[in-house]
Structure formats: structure tokens, C-alpha cells
Amino acid sequence: MNKSYKERFERILEEYLNAYPVKLSPVWDAVVYAVTAGGKRVRPTLAYMGAKIAGGDCEKADKVALGVEFIHNYSLIHDDLPCMDNDDLRRGRPTVHKAFGEGTAVLAGDALLNMAFECVSGEGKAAKYIAVQSGMRGMVGGQCLDLANSSNAGVEGESRLDEINSLKTSALFKASLAGGAIAGGADDKLVTALEEYADCLGKVFQIVDDILDAQSSAEVLGKSVGQDVKNGKVTYVSLLGLDKAKEKAKAINEAGKAALAGISGAEELLTLADSLLSRVK
């Protein structure tokens, strides 16, 4: 991924956190702990790429980049809670509820969600789009379906898994990429193409996650492995096997890149798709 986007985001994030007017401990400490723990910053990168491909500059996507990353981190905090996936490790450190307690973790997630919309509240159409993609029609809806995801899914397991991950993972990729593009002045045709690409990108990202969960280690990934299997959830690997899961990821990746055919300035997005397909953590 283009390092300049990540470097810009880290600078904007630091400035935002330093200037935030209310810092009540321990919730603020948990917020900072969560959002400054590193990570790939895929979603802010997508926001900047979206603005750029729409003909705008990075500055137009700064608030979108902050917003989607705050939403992403709130979702991770809540996803790790004992009532959800019950994870103890995230980005090589104890999860927020392990470090600060469950009550503080819930409030830190709530704070981050609201901080996200403090950031994007002036972004008009982009703000509404991000809200839709991160809510019941998107990420939260995917989480809802994922709670019912179990090894008893039966013959509809693969299509159900596709639906879960299109909502749970791809929706926030759409919010990032298309949201950044909308902020940058994109027309409807471009937004539609970016949505299709982002939907594929999110599905590939999740399949690769499942593959790494089966093949890698907590030391490499910085998070617990085998949690889905432990919790009785269906994954692409448990459903299809490693080889077929890898084939599926490659096929979806090609479909995502094909969605950008004829789109000027799509080279960065094509490179990003291949890099996320081949990632090792």
C-alpha cells in the first residue's frame, strides 16, 4: 500500500486526538489505546484513494478517513467482547476489555462511533452513505448475521457466508472508498464501480483472514487464532478447504479488478487488491 496515505493519516489522527476537547479517563485512555495500536489502515487508505480517483485531493477525505477508522476500531472493540467473539489479543496487545475492563470497553466503542460522526457530520451525502454502510444495512447487519453463524449452517453455508462478509467486512470498505470518492466529487457511475470493487475487496480480505487463521500463528498475526472454530463458526476454510478457499479468493479478486475496467486512475486500486490477496498478516 502507498505509505504516504498511512503517514498522512497518522499525522491527522494525532492532531485530532491532541485537540479533542474532552478526555475523561479511563474511557479516553481506552479510545487512544485502541486507535493508536497500529494496524494496516486499509480503510483510511481507501478513503484517500477514493477522493483521488474522483479528482479530489487527500484533504477532502481527511474527515472520512478518520470517521471510517473510528468506526472500524469501535467495531473491533465490541467484536472482541466476551458476549461476541471473546478475544484476548488484538494487534499484539491485550484487547481493550482485557486492558480496561468490559464496561470501559463498551463505552470506548460507543465514544469512537460518536467521534466518527463528529468527524463526518459536515460531509453531507458522504456522511449519510457512511452511516448506511456501517449500520443495520451494512456492518452491524453483518455482525447480526454472524452471531447466528454456526457449523450447522448446512448446504446454504457458502452463500450465507458470502452474505455475512459482504455486510460485515465489505460494507465498511464501501464506506471508505466510495465515501472518500463522494467527498471528492464522484458521480454515480464512478461510485457504482467503486462499490462493486470494494465489495469484492472485502470478501477477499475475509477469505484471506480465514486462511491465515488456519495457517499462521498469534505471534505473526498479532491476534488470537482459531477463535471462529473454537466458537463453532463456519469459515471459508472449514467450509471449502484451504485450496478451494484460495481459488475463491483469487476469482473474487479478479472480479473486483474487472469492475474498474475503463476507470481512469485505477492503477493504485488494482495494486491494492493484489497486495491484500497476497498478504501474510
**E-strand spans in 18-79?**
none
**Which helix (DSSP H) or strand (DSSP E) does residue 95 occupy?**
none
Count structural domains, the chain.
1
> Residue 128: what pLDDT?
97
> Residue 154: what pLDDT?
46
CATH at 111 = 1.10.600.10
> Residue 125: what pLDDT?
97
The residues of the chain scoring below 50 in pLDDT are: 153-155
> Residue 155: what pLDDT?
39
120: closest CA among 59, 61, 194? 61
pTM given for the model: 0.94
> Residue 221: what pLDDT?
73
Quote the CA–CA distance of 242 and 191 in Å, as a whole number: 33
> Residue 225: what pLDDT?
74
> Residue 205: what pLDDT?
96
> Residue 215: what pLDDT?
84
By residue range, what is the domain housing residue 82? 3-277
> Residue 1: what pLDDT?
63
36: closest CA among 13, 62, 2, 5? 13
